[in-house]
Structure 1
Amino acid sequence: MILFLASRPVTAPPVRPAAAARRAPRRRLPRFPRFRPLAPYRRLFSLPGTRAFTAANLLARLPMGMLSVSAVLMIAGTRGSYALAGAVTATGLAATALIGPLTARLVDRHGQARIAVPATALAVLGSLSLLLCVHYDAPTWTLFASYAATATTPNTGGMSRARWAHLFHDDPAALHTANSFEQAADELCFMLGPVLATLLCTGLFPEAGTAVAAAFLLTGVLLFASQRRTEPPVSPTPGSPSGPCGLSASPARSRSPLRLPGLPPLLLTFLFTGAVFGSLEVVTIAYADDHGVRSTAGAMLALQAAGSCAAGLLYGLLRPPHGPGRRSRRFRLCVGAMATLMPLPLLAARTGSLTALTCALLLAGMATAPTMVTGMGLIQSRTPAAQLNEGMTLAVTALLTGIAAGSAAGGWAVDHLSGPAPGLGLAYAVPAAAAALALTIALLTTRPTGTDA
């Protein structure tokens, strides 16, 4: 009997309908994917160390929008000469154009922390020397020498972009978002820096802006350099001898990025893009002054930078172009959009309405950040990883040179076009012409090259 019972199959007891209903899984309605516009940016900062180096770099980058304005206000406020202040800052700009790429080359060869800290310390000493020379009424030539010493300031934005390129070298979408964030950060620093410098120099004392900017720069670079786990590794040259302190003494690492195919036309486009920025600033200040509201010029330029910042963040949500042909095509489209929108301030200024001009500046600024993001992406794809800082610093140098040339051209237009209506409104033809030249160069020369990644 026991064997008979054991041989029978064991069956589960019948389940009551109520119990079965309780155990049956509920049918879920299909859920639509939620719109998460900030998801790409959250993904960037989910990596360990990215938040720390970004915060430190923003602190170090803020002085780039403060130093020149602080120097102008400090020198003009104590020496009573805007011409002298402009000459001193122009000398520093020229020195930066010469020294900046050399500093970036050292950063590429020996690492960010090893070069950026002493270079920043030398630049801070130059700022403090300028402050003391102005305060104690030193000879005029000391102002030029002191401000020229600040040219060793490392390209903090380029070093941050190099870290993103190292972290996301195999993820084009994330790298595109990171480049968009970096361009928006540049615009934010250029928007807040002059305002902060003006408040410090006019609210406290003339030297306050330079002192605070120097403190921000040194503190930010020290904090940024301490984040070693996100620092891109140095690619040593095989067989290169070592000099003092272990630094390579061989100058023949590789050819200059200026000799890379496709890079000089990009730099020329950046030059005319910088001319857009420089002329737009000078003409806007002069136009506001001509209408008796010079104090609002800063707010008008801040709105232009805000439009560019917002456009940069939104551009980072788009899919990056895949392939060298599409990258070059996207760049030409962005430069074309900038050239299309830049005549808007010219049309608005001729109406005599400051409200219309402010809105036109806001719209015109929305094309600059996508142009810069796409251009920087092309430079990254055409520059070897071991020379990335140098390549991006050359782009910044081209921008600074263009800004200086654009400022001079805008000032010339203001001096020669002042008078009855339309008067200064015609001076907005200078940034419009610079944008058109940038588009012409991009259309004629920007083509896919063998170095595009």
Structure 2
Amino acid sequence: MLAPYRRLFAAKGALGFTATGFLARLALSMSGVGTVVMIATVRHSYALAGAVGGAALAATLVTIPLLGRLVDRYGQARTALPAALWSALMSAALVVCVATGAPTWTLFVTNVLSATAPNVGGMARARWAELYGDDDRMHAANSFEQVLDELCFVLGPVVVVALATGVAPEAGRVAPLVLTLAGTVLFCLQRGTEPPVRHADPSAGGSPLANRGLQVMIVVFLFTGSLFGSLEVVTIAFTDSLGHKSSAGVVLALQAVGSALSGLLFGLLTPRGSGPTRFLLGVGGMALLMLPLTLATGMAALIPLMFIAGMATSPTMITGMGLVQELIPRARINEGMTLAVTGLLGGSSLGSTLAGWAVERHGAAFGYRLPVGAAALALLTALTGLGRLRATLAPPSSPVTGNAEARHGT
């Protein structure tokens, strides 16, 4: 049954970059939760914790697309290594500021300056695209990558909460800074699968941001990220209000488990219908499955509802990332994918900030209305942008320009 996934690793070096990149990707799933738990525990304020975490995510609106452009221009190793080193140094500075009781403004400054961790997940997807291009194995590759992302979000929160409650509040933030640096270094040492630097074709258009189809995807991902960011902060606060703060990581992991299982099964299927239509259905599924969370009144209800809430996430993200790869030319693939990820992270910043505010003023249970509202906005955007996505992906009528590269302009 898992033959489609086994076929992926027939290529030399595929296992190497996947295994080493996993460490850096795990760090990404730990940093946000680690920051919220550390600051909320030491400074006793979820509003401050959400704001500090949100500020760093907001900074990625600038840093992540810039890093993606630099990766396309100079290569993965030359860009990612110094970026990871700087991120680790500033993360260490944040931990020191929290531990020593430094002024509140130092938490914002150090956390914002730490927002240079490279998007290793995007670089791994670029390596798969280099290996398989338009081959049918790319569907399995995108599915596998999404399952890895979800596995990171299963393990990450559990490890962070265990370290923060069992060792020290700062331990949950120290671990991801170490993993960021170590994972990125090991990933970049896998030079055999690193995509070559390509010069962009001027006829393919300018920045990927000018692509009308990608604009739709970024806005949908913005609201999807708001869903994820608000869900994270609200769940930590909700379990704390029930007297089960140490279970927050496990509860968050359940959402990722549901997503990972659905993604694993989705990768075994042969895609049917158009990508935009499948994406719309996926976003609709996310909105529908988030709705029952507003009924949660205790841990007994929250646990199964979080698992169910995650079951539409992976199929939606797999289809969405596949659409992004279709929209963007190979020479700008890192920048295009990081723009999509920026939408997710920017939305997560907004969601975590709003969730911290809502929890402080209206209580933790009220906060679950935020991810439901974000999912509804994502669905509305996908629905209204469906025609634009189809038009952007449609091959031109002229046989001379009817190739994949010519479709990436505006």
- Deviation digits for residues 174-221 of structure 1 (CA, Å, limit 9, x no counterpart): 111111111111111122112212222332334333333222111111
> Which residue, out of 371, 375, 399, partners 2:320?
375
Q: Is the 8 A contact 1:261 1:449 kept in 2?
A: no
SS of the residue 2:390 aligns to: coil
1:395-414 maps to which residues of 2 (within 5 A)?
395-414=340-359
Q: Is the 8 A contact 1:381 1:451 kept in 2?
A: yes
2:340 is the counterpart of 1:389: no
TM-score for the superposition, normalised by structure 2: 0.88
Corresponding position of 2:224? 273
**Counterpart AA for 2:280:** R
Corresponding position of 2:391? 449
Deviation at 1:138, TM superposition (A): 4.2
Deviation at 1:97, TM superposition (A): 1.6
Deviation at 1:139, TM superposition (A): 4.4
Partners of 1:141 and 1:356 lie apart in 2 by 39
Corresponding position of 1:327? 275
Partners of 2:373 and 2:104 lie apart in 1 by 37
1:137-148 maps to which residues of 2 (within 5 A)?
137-148=101-112
Structure holding more helix per residue: 2
1:308-327 maps to which residues of 2 (within 5 A)?
308-321=259-272, 326-327=274-275
Partners of 1:58 and 1:314 lie apart in 2 by 21
Distance 1:237 1:375, change over 3 A: closer
> Which residue, out of 173, 182, 185, partners 1:210?
173
Deviation at 1:272, TM superposition (A): 1.2
Deviation at 1:317, TM superposition (A): 0.6
**Counterpart AA for 1:265:** V
**Counterpart AA for 1:214:** L
2:116 is the counterpart of 1:159: no
> Which residue, out of 58, 61, 64, partners 2:25?
61
Partners of 1:193 and 1:218 lie apart in 2 by 16
Corresponding position of 1:109? 73
- Deviation digits for residues 103-148 of structure 1 (CA, Å, limit 9, x no counterpart): 1100011110111111111111111222333444444443333222
Larger deviation, residues 443-452 vs 389-398: 443-452
Partners of 2:104 and 2:232 lie apart in 1 by 27
Partners of 2:190 and 2:346 lie apart in 1 by 32
**Counterpart AA for 1:225:** C
> Which residue, out of 181, 191, 198, partners 1:235?
198
Deviation at 1:94, TM superposition (A): 1.8
Distance 1:272 1:87, change over 3 A: closer
Q: Is the 8 A contact 2:239 2:247 kept in 1?
A: yes
Q: Is the 8 A contact 1:67 1:213 kept in 2?
A: yes
**Counterpart AA for 2:14:** T
Corresponding position of 2:293? 345
Partners of 1:425 and 1:88 lie apart in 2 by 22
Partners of 1:427 and 1:84 lie apart in 2 by 16
**Counterpart AA for 2:333:** L
Partners of 2:298 and 2:40 lie apart in 1 by 31
Q: Is the 8 A contact 1:108 1:389 kept in 2?
A: yes
Deviation at 1:76, TM superposition (A): 4.5
SS of the residue 2:111 aligns to: helix
Partners of 2:245 and 2:96 lie apart in 1 by 30
Q: What is the RMSD of the two structures over their aligned residues, measured on CA atoms? A: 2.5
Q: Is the 8 A contact 2:69 2:332 kept in 1?
A: yes
SS of the residue 1:318 aligns to: coil
Distance 1:139 1:366, change over 3 A: same
Distance 1:255 1:42, change over 3 A: same
Distance 1:143 1:431, change over 3 A: closer
Aligned residues: 393
**Counterpart AA for 1:436:** A
SS of the residue 2:391 aligns to: coil
Unaligned runs of 5+ in 2: 395-403, 405-410
Identical columns (%): 53
Q: Is the 8 A contact 2:54 2:349 kept in 1?
A: yes
TM-score for the superposition, normalised by structure 1: 0.80
- Deviation digits for residues 260-302 of structure 1 (CA, Å, limit 9, x no counterpart): 1211111111111112222223333343344333333332221
Corresponding position of 1:299? 250
Distance 1:268 1:369, change over 3 A: same
**Counterpart AA for 1:428:** Y
Partners of 2:100 and 2:370 lie apart in 1 by 40
Corresponding position of 2:377? 437
Partners of 2:11 and 2:148 lie apart in 1 by 19
1:58-207 maps to which residues of 2 (within 5 A)?
58-79=22-43, 81-171=45-135, 173-207=136-170
Distance 1:205 1:108, change over 3 A: same
SS of the residue 2:191 aligns to: coil
Larger deviation, residues 221-230 vs 121-130: 121-130
